[in-house]
């Protein structure tokens, strides 16, 4: 019975360690999104900062021998406990909401503004060593099993370690982050780390046990609801941090991953770009009969079209918590009966429906590091184009250089025009800044396109072939 209990305990430790490593990787990816974005470039750095140290941890753990270090005899069990405590201390800073905010706020102050460099520094300081130490767990644990055939025990350990990783991937993202929030999912990791120390310690009242519990309690404090409420955070789920509150000027502001998403007040004033788009695309059809169909990709605070009680609106956004937060803290009232919300990724929604719309407004680009890579491709814009009715209008809001002073702005302009050949481009607030040489100066940039099913893109006039006489309207309005 004792042997069975010992074996079960060791396999439980392996499962928990596998969960912690995978959950830590996913939490690091999720928690860095507000600061460095969610692109494959930053994600690949974090994945690399987990996989390589994990490999070295496996290798070192398999070679470790019980020995004296600084006059103290370090057993396998003591080595495991020490590894977990050191990993916990580093992760306490690197995974806590409070200190991540301070860390990523400090990097630009010392001149480190490149998000790939920021991600690399974060990973090197807060992920590499903890994962390396936790990676030693499985090979070190193998020394505590009773003597069995090497192939059998290795196969079982790999199985349970993979089960732990599977649970870390599934439970953390699909169950815990949406229900208890990212910050409490982080706290759970520290509770599990403390449990590992307790399970490995023969003396349950030892200093390592006390330290592990203390670290877990500090983690709960650093990721508490109280701390998030000070930043007006209403939801911290698997997709984003959503903050909402009233400013001193009585404007109600919605922030998603640190970016200003929507603004509203009792005078029904909104962000300038929203009012501009409503003025040119919605006001002319405000009393349309029958009502026009309007698709909004990127719901934000549901301020776009909020005052239009006639036309039929469909808001699409991946974050299902946005509607309740917008109604409670931004609009201060429910969205109209002529409006519906579909919580789906934009491309999944477009794939699932054949419906066409009179107006499509794309407002899913938050600016800064938050550029959804899958929503700036030619294929995405072709999907959007396929859902435009004849004579429909497409409007997009992007945060771009007003005078094409960086490669991203040029490339996305090329991409849009490859699908919508004749678009008009407007800089909100007339912030064109033609003499500004900065590559980082950005502004709300509106692209507008009028769709025709049988659209002719025309040709180029040359000195040799010039048909302007035939092409221009025969009667020009003075």
CATH number at residue 342: 3.40.50.150
Q: How many domains does the chain have?
A: 2
Whether residue 218 is found in the same domain as residue 72? yes
Residues 337-355: tens digit of each pLDDT: 999 999 999 999 999 999 9
Do the domain assignments include residue 206?
yes
Whether residue 318 is found in the same domain as residue 417? yes
**pLDDT value at 67 more than 90:** no
The closest alpha carbon to 192, from 342, 27, 434, 2, belongs to: 27
Percent of the chain clearing pLDDT 70 (strictly above): 96
Report long-range pairs for 432-441 (Cβ below 8 Å, ≥24 apart). 432/402, 432/403, 433/402, 433/403, 434/403, 436/403, 436/405, 437/405, 438/405, 439/401, 439/405, 439/406, 440/406, 441/401, 441/402, 441/405
Domain residues for 9?
A: 2-230
Do the domain assignments include residue 247?
no
- Which residues, at least 6 apart from 394, have a Cβ–Cβ distance to it below 8 Å? 359, 360, 362, 384, 385, 388, 420, 447, 448, 449, 451
450: β partners: 393
Do the domain assignments include residue 477?
no
Interstrand relation of 293-297 and 388-400 (parallel, antiparallel or unpaired): unpaired
Do the domain assignments include residue 101?
yes
- E-strand stretches of 218-356: 233-236, 241-246, 252-256, 259-264, 293-297, 312-316, 339-342
- For residue 196, the Cα-to-chain-centroid distance in whole angstroms is 30
Last residue within a domain, chosen from 198, 230, 262: 230
Q: Which of 159-168, 175-184, 241-250 is predicted least confidently?
A: 241-250
CB 189 within 8 A of CB 95: yes
Do the domain assignments include residue 478?
no
For residues 200-228, average pLDDT? 94
Whether residue 309 is found in the same domain as residue 163? no
Residues 344-396: tens digit of each pLDDT: 999 999 999 999 999 999 999 876 656 888 999 999 999 999 999 999 999 99
pLDDT of residue 478: 53
Instruction: Supply the DSSP symbol for 367.
Output: B
**pLDDT value at 154 more than 90:** no
Q: Which two tokens stand for residue 310?
A: 């006639």
CB 63 within 8 A of CB 81: no
CATH number, position 52: 1.20.1250
Which residue bears the tokens 């040489």? 437
Whether residue 264 is found in the same domain as residue 224? no
* CA distance linking residue 405 with residue 55, whole number of Å: 43
Do the domain assignments include residue 354?
yes
pLDDT of residue 213: 97
Whether residue 372 is found in the same domain as residue 308? yes
Whether residue 285 is found in the same domain as residue 428? yes
CB 165 within 8 A of CB 19: yes
Do the domain assignments include residue 175?
yes
Confidence of residue 439 (pLDDT cuts 50, 70, 90): confident
**pLDDT value at 270 more than 50:** yes
pLDDT of residue 400: 93
* CA distance linking residue 251 with residue 301, whole number of Å: 13
Whether residue 343 is found in the same domain as residue 424? yes
Whether residue 349 is found in the same domain as residue 428? yes
pLDDT of residue 225: 92
pLDDT of residue 1: 43
For residues 141-160, average pLDDT? 81
* CA distance linking residue 121 with residue 125, whole number of Å: 6
Whether residue 314 is found in the same domain as residue 186? no
Three-state DSSP at 449 gives strand
Whether residue 123 is found in the same domain as residue 272? no
Q: Which two tokens stand for residue 44?
A: 């690949």
Angle between helices 97-109 and 115-126 (to 10 degrees): 130
> Residues, the chain, total?
478
pLDDT of residue 475: 67
Whether residue 223 is found in the same domain as residue 329? no
Do the domain assignments include residue 280?
yes
CB 429 within 8 A of CB 394: no
Whether residue 188 is found in the same domain as residue 91? yes
**pLDDT value at 335 more than 70:** yes
């Amino acid at each position: 019975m004792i042997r069975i209990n010992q074996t079960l305990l060791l396999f439980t430790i392996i499962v928990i360690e596998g969960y912690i490593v995978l959950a830590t990787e996913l939490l690091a990816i999720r928690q860095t999104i507000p600061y460095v974005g969610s692109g494959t470039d930053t994600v690949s750095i974090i994945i690399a900062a987990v996989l390589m140290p994990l490999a070295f941890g496996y290798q070192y753990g398999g070679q470790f021998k019980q020995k004296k270090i600084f006059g103290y005899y370090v057993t396998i069990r003591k080595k495991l406990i020490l590894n977990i405590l050191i990993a916990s201390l580093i992760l306490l800073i690197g995974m806590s909401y409070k200190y991540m905010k301070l860390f990523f706020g400090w990097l630009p102050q010392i001149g480190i503004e490149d998000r790939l460099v920021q991600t690399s520094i974060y990973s090197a300081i807060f992920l590499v060593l903890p994962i390396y130490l936790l990676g030693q767990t499985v090979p070190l644990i193998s020394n505590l099993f009773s003597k069995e055939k090497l192939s059998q025990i290795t196969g079982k350990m790999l199985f349970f370690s993979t089960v732990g990783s599977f649970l870390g991937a599934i439970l953390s993202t699909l169950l815990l982050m949406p229900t208890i929030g990212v910050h409490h999912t982080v706290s759970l990791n520290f509770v599990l780390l403390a449990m590992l120390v307790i399970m490995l310690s023969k003396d349950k009242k030892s200093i390592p046990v006390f330290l592990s519990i203390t670290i877990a309690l500090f983690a709960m404090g650093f990721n508490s609801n109280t701390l998030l409420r000070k930043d007006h955070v209403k939801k911290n789920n698997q997709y984003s941090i959503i903050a909402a509150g009233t400013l001193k000027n009585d404007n109600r502001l919605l922030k998603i991953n640190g970016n200003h998403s929507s603004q509203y007040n009792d005078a029904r004033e909104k962000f300038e770009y929203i009012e501009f788009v409503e003025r040119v695309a919605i006001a002319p059809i405000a009393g349309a009969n029958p009502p026009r169909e309007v698709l909004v990709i990127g719901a934000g605070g549901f301020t776009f079209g909020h005052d239009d009680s006639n036309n039929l609106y469909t808001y699409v956004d991946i974050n299902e918590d946005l509607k309740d937060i917008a109604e409670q803290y931004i609009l201060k009232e429910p969205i109209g009966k002529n409006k519906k919300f579909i919580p789906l990724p934009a491309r999944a929604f477009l794939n699932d429906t054949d419906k066409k719309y009179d107006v499509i407004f794309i407002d899913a680009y938050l600016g800064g590091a938050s550029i959804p890579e899958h929503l700036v491709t030619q294929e995405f814009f072709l999907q959007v184009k396929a859902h435009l009715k004849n004579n429909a209008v497409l409007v997009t809001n992007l945060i771009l250089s007003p005078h094409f002073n960086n490669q991203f702005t040029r490339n996305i302009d090329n991409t849009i025009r490859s699908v919508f050949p004749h678009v008009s481009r407007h800089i909100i607030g007339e912030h064109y800044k033609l003499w500004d040489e900065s590559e980082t100066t950005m502004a709300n940039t509106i692209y507008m396109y009028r769709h025709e099913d049988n659209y002719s893109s025309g040709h180029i006039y040359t000195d040799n072939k010039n048909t302007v006489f035939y092409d221009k309207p025969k009667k020009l309005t003075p």
